[in-house]
Structure 1
Amino acid sequence: MKSNLRKSALAVSAMILATAAHAQSSVTLYGIVDAGVMYMSKTRNATGGNGGKFIGFTDSGEAPSVFGLKGDEDLGGGMHAEFNLESGINLGNGGFNNSNGNLFGRQAWVGVRGNLGTLRAGLQYSPFFDVVWEADPRGLSQLGSNLVVYSYNALGTGVFNSNMIKYDSPVIAGLQGSVMLALGGVAGDFQAGRQYSANLQYHWRDLGVFAAYYNGNTGGAMTPLPTNLGMQARIIGASYKFDALTAKASFTNYKMAGSGINNNVYNVGVDFMATPVIDLNAGVWYMVNRDDTSSKSLLGAVGANYFLSRRTGIYTQVGVVNNKGGQNLGLAMGEAPTTLYAPAGTTVGVNVGIRHLF
């Protein structure tokens, strides 16, 4: 009897050791901490007029301050199990920021990855937002970028997508696509809060071409920064790399249900690695309401980064926005809504800060 038990124990131990050797796993802690000082020549008050100048500390001046956990397990045969939990943090007070009021309000998903692509379930970025990121010449800076224009139009809708199933195809001859379906979770009403999106990207040598579509219904769970607005949006763009310089151009349309927003956005910009430690970038955005062409905005921004090391850099960026008609596009995300909206006329913003990656 003891001999049989011993043999069984040895067999189980061998199975555990074999499994451990076969399924290698890892968990990585990562994050960004970014803070600085921001100046705005104008702010928008509650009545839409000029609320005066702003100068003060700003969290997430260029990049969002975040921390997260990534996990990966090798299942064998080219298959991997993976997860990602990511939260925004506010360096000014230690609370939440860029996280939609939740502990892991940026990303919270689990999935599998293999030769046939990647399938993930949970809170994720939409395929549309992935292309908005890809198309941005300033890397989705918190001041003067696609991120500011996007948030002005849609707030968090299409960025933080709850209850999402997302599939990313493998890259085939430079072509790669993604599709998603987010379920609203409203009993008796399948349409409420439902969101779907798709993108297609093609890269050949130094050329990139990309396009995406998003459609979302109102309803579903409310969050501090609304993520359930009715929105139809589309984007098409291209990029080309000339040695150390990358040029990008895109066209985006945001149509928001019940808000009067039907904005066309035209963007061009460049990023230039002047030296191994100095990066320069610039972008221009022209936004006009298709239903009221007298409502338009012109936004321009430039930035400079000096890398003290691979993980730490100091930066400065300057933005200018001019609003006419019913538009009140702002310059920055860092102190939203103080800086996400601006009054009519011209507003200038300057941001200086430091960023560290870990």
Structure 2
Amino acid sequence: MRKRSRLPLKRIVCAIGWTIIGGTAHAQGSVTLYGILDGGLLYTSKTLDAATGQNAGHQFSATDGGMSPTQFGLTGTEDLGAGLKARFKLESGISIMNGGFNNSNGNMFGRQAYVALDSPYGTVTAGLQFSPFFLAIYGTDPRGFSQFGSGLELYVDNVLGTGAFNANGISWASPDIYGFRGSVMLALGGSAGNFQAGRQYSASLQYENGSLLVNAAIYSGNSGGTVDTPVPSTLAYWGRTLGATYKFGIVTAKLQFVNYKVAQSFNSNIYSGGLDCYVTPQLDLNGGVYFTSDRNHTANHSIMGALGATYSVSRRTSLYAQVGVVDNHGAMDTGLSLNNALYGVQGTTIGASAGIRHTF
């Protein structure tokens, strides 16, 4: 019988390590693992019964991503010389409550999966990516797209994952030119013989000068296509936004207008404003108010307000607490939390969320 040679485990590990180090040094690049873990508790005084559309009573539940989406990912860069740099990102959303996929349309790397080329003339990105419209709203949202009581709930309530997770996307982002930055994106639907099915495009323009930031963006998406995602990401809608932030001392003021015009559904105008204040380097307080009105039927409207506090106990770990209230009228169904309370019921609902967030 032929004997297999045995190589000590220590030598194997060393060999693999030197191979990786040698390959990385040769490529003059780097790969980084990163992520966010966020878990907490959620209370709402009313809960939507999906079967009847009525109030099912109050709820008290454990929830993933009370403030930030739980996620992990890999990102890497390679310096190509002559001012060029190659980058990639693979990002997945998960739930720490059950270990399954969450916040990413249910796919392995359903949040972001792209390769990009940076140059002095801007950045070209190819793959699954956030649209310029989504990034513009995130940039000026009064509560920073918290997963409780922010513009993120209104975004997903209106258009689900469309515009956030754009498959088959090609985009270009300009370099900074006297404070101006622009970005355009085209995402193809993937249907042979029908270019318009699932087609999505978006553009944004931002100006930043010292304490002032102003941005504007548009989005247009068609239904259809062959994008396979558990949560629809090719809903037909037209979007536009205009937002601004201004910093004075430790306080940042934010104002924003967003319109979501969804085919055969709401045509929602959302007006919002709020303040963010770092009382100390560890303690951040913020609050925002959001008024939503359906232009097709003004009887459909809601107002939502929320306050939040985040305390950093270390560079990577923070504790947070949030309280909010939403008042729905007509057919408006604004909810308070992206997880467990995305849609609300008529009348007034009060809610609170508290938890812990760790980044790595």
Same fold (TM over 0.5): yes
Counterpart of 2:255?
249
For residue 347 of structure 1, what is the amino acid of its counterpart? Answer: T
CA distance in 2, matches of 1:22, 1:199: 38
Trace 1:46-125 onto structure 2 (pairs within 5 A).
46-125=51-130
Query: Residue 171 of structure 2: SS of its match in structure 1?
Result: strand
Could you tell me whether the CA contact under 8 Å between 2:180 and 2:205 is conserved in 1?
yes
Structure 2 counterpart SS, 1:293: coil
Match of 1:347 in 2: 349
1:27 to 20, 25, 31: 31
Tell me by how many angstroms 1:276 deviates: 1.1
Matched, 1:167 2:172: yes
Aligned partner of 1:27: which letter?
Answer: V
- Match for residue 271 of structure 1 among 266, 273, 276: 276
Which residue of the partner structure matches residue 241 of structure 2? Answer: 235
Separation in structure 2 between the aligned mates of residue 27 and residue 187 of structure 1, nearest angstrom: 36
Q: Determine if contact 1:239/1:247 at 8 Å carries over to the other structure.
A: yes
Q: Does 1:323 align with 2:328?
A: yes
Alignment of 1:191-202 (within 5 A): 191-202=196-207
Match of 2:216 in 1: 211
Q: Which residue of 2 aligns with 1:314?
A: 319
- Give, as a single letter, the amino acid of the residue that structure 1 aligns with 2:30: S
Contact 1:23 1:76 in 2 (8 A): no
Counterpart Cα distance in 2 of 1:244 and 1:48:
43
3-state SS of 2:343 partner: coil
Quote how far apart the aligned CAs of 1:183 are.
0.3
> 2:277 & 2:348 partners in 1: Cα distance?
27
Which runs of at least 4 in structure 1 moved beyond 6 Å after TM superposition?
19-22
Is the 1:22–1:74 Cα contact (8 Å) retained in structure 2?
no
Deviations 1:56-90 (CA, angstroms, capped at 9, x unpaired): 11000000000000010000111100000000111
Alignment partners' CA distance in 2, 1:341 and 1:246: 29
Per-residue CA distance 1:1-60 (angstroms, 9 max, x = gap):
xxxxxxxxxxxxxxxxxx987841000000000001110100111222101111011000
**How far 1:222 moved relative to its partner?**
3.9
Q: Deviation of residue 199 (structure 1)?
A: 0.1
Distance 1:60 1:105 in 2: 16
Aligned partner of 1:353: which letter?
G
Query: Are the counterparts in 1 of residues 71 and 93 from structure 2 also a CA contact under 8 Å?
Result: yes
Aligned counterpart, 1:155: 160
1:323–1:343 contact (8 Å) kept in structure 2: yes
SS of corresponding position for 2:158: helix
Tell me how far 1:225 sits from its aligned partner: 1.2
Unaligned runs of 5+ in 1: 1-18
CA distance in 1, matches of 2:26, 2:206: 34
CA distance in 1, matches of 2:162, 2:266: 14
The residue aligned with 1:10 is none
Asked if structure 1 preserves the Cα contact closer than 8 Å seen for 2:24 and 2:30, the reply is no
Q: Letter of the aligned partner of 1:247 in structure 2?
A: A
- Structure 2 CA distance for aligned equivalents of residues 263 and 47 of structure 1: 24
Checking the alignment, whether the CA contact within 8 Å between 2:137 and 2:243 is kept in structure 1 is no
Give the structure-2-normalised TM-score: 0.92
- Cα distance in 2 between the residues matched to 1:22 and 1:55: 54
Matched, 1:37 2:41: yes
1:330 is paired with a residue of what secondary structure? strand
- Give 3-state SS (helix, strand or coil) of 1:47's partner: coil
Q: Match of 2:358?
A: 356
User: 1:299 corresponds to which residue?
Assistant: 304
Contact 2:309–2:320 at 8 Å: present in 1 too? yes
Contact map agreement 1:85 1:107 (CA 8 A) in 2? yes
Residue aligned with 1:131, SS: helix
Which AA in structure 2 matches 1:96? F
State the secondary structure of the residue aligned to 2:334: coil
C-alpha separation between the residues in 2 aligned to 1:229 and 1:118? 27
Q: Is the 8 A contact 1:22 1:76 kept in 2?
A: no
- 8 A contact 1:322–1:344 mirrored in 2: yes
Q: Which amino acid aligns with 1:177?
A: G
Counterpart residue identity of residue 82, structure 2 = G
User: What is aligned with 1:184?
Assistant: 189
